[in-house]
Structure 1
Amino acid sequence: MQATVRSFDPVTRSGSVFLDDGTVLEFGTPAFDAGPLRLLRSGQRVRLAMTGDEITYITLSTFPLPDSPGIQESPGSPRDKETPGPPTGDRAPGYFL
């Protein structure tokens, strides 16, 4: 599930987000600390993992969610597909002898 940061307090490492339908959800320190981020700013797009109605993980929208039994995206949310790496070998596109 994706959302937009509404507020973030760097002291408590908690805040709130707007879902795309305008719903406001709060997230606590544990949800922020579970992810790789150090800071959020208002208006930033983020990706959320939820357990029930509680945000359990928050990261940037371009970062994948971890595969963990306790971390689940909301049903119907798109997951990132693995992106293939760059071509290898001596005939990779853009490679000239």
Structure 2
Amino acid sequence: MQATTYTYDADSRSGSVLLDDGTPLPFTASAFDAGGLRLLRPGQRVRIECEGEGEERRVTLVTLYTF
């Protein structure tokens, strides 16, 4: 699934993304580390993987989206 980086804190390596429907979804350092990234900037397109549904949905992987 694709999303857009909304926030990112380099110290905690966590932040949030906006899904294409505008829904914000937070991610933790473990999801960021799973993607092997070093940095994100707000507005970057990313690919995410999630598990769970509704209020239990969580991001398990964040990586850059490349064409």
TM-score normalised according to structure 1 size: 0.63
- Residue in 2 aligned with 1:28? 28
Q: How many pairs are equivalent?
A: 63
Which structure 1 residue ranges, 5 or more long, are not aligned? Answer: 64-97
Q: Which has the higher helix share?
A: 2
- Residue in 1 aligned with 2:48? 48
- Residue in 1 aligned with 2:2? 2
By how many angstroms is 1:28 displaced?
A: 0.4
Of structures 1 and 2, the one with the larger relative CO (CA 8 A, separation 6+) is 2
Q: Residue 46 of structure 1: SS of its match in structure 2? A: strand
Q: Which has the higher strand share?
A: 2
Identical columns (%): 60
Bigger-Rg structure (1/2): 1
Q: Residue 33 of structure 1: SS of its match in structure 2? A: helix
> Where in structure 1 do 4 or more consecutive aligned residues deviate above 2 Å?
none
TM-score normalised according to structure 2 size: 0.90
